[in-house]
Amino acid sequence: MNTEQFGAAGRRALNQVWNGAGEYGFQPVFVSNTLYMNTIAGLAEEFFGKEALQALFDTWEGDIWQGTYDRFAWLLIEQTVYRRNLPLRPALEDLRRDYADFFLDSLERRSRSENMGKALLCESLQRAYWREALGHRECSFPRRQSSILKSGRGQIWSRRHWESISWNF
């Protein structure tokens, strides 16, 4: 892979993913603007395999709910690879806390008009997930939303599960 086409920040992000995967030079499925999520993306590619991970996201590519499915998938993927790799990479705990603080802070800084165009169900579940990662008490949700958050822990759901989420709200 020719990395010259990327700027310094792009090359740094690729190196973070590659470091997580323990393999260098491949085109990642996902690249973020944060060290933690790039590390998680690399760990996910190493654990699930690039083809399986790409196939998961290809399942709903072009779907009207694609962004929502992607966000839910990354919550579940993050939890799976975090738990699996924490004993091997203890620095993940601090990186995760820093990312959770960053994510929650970014939600608080947005204006009301910015929030109007966002998938609020998805963001409320993300907010609860990252608050829990920081050790805060879970937020209160209506029964259906609460069951989605609790039932999804540690699983990669099938398309049927994703569809039941999107159509029931």
More confidently predicted of 69 and 167: 69
Residue 88 backbone phi and psi in degrees, to 5: -85, -25
**Among candidate residues 168, 169, 167, 166, the one with its CA nearest the CA of residue 70:** 166
Query: pLDDT tens digits, residue range 24-36?
Result: 988 898 998 899 9
SS3 137: coil
Amino acid at 4: E
Query: pLDDT tens digits, residue range 82-139?
Result: 999 999 999 999 999 999 999 888 888 877 666 655 656 677 777 788 888 888 865 5
Close Cβ partners of 113 (under 8 Å, ≥ 6 residues apart):
none
Sign of torsion, CA 99 138 123 51? positive
- Please give the pLDDT value at position 128: 81
Tokens of 85: 């790799």
Q: What is the mean pLDDT of the chain?
A: 79
The pLDDT of 16-44, averaged and rounded, is 92
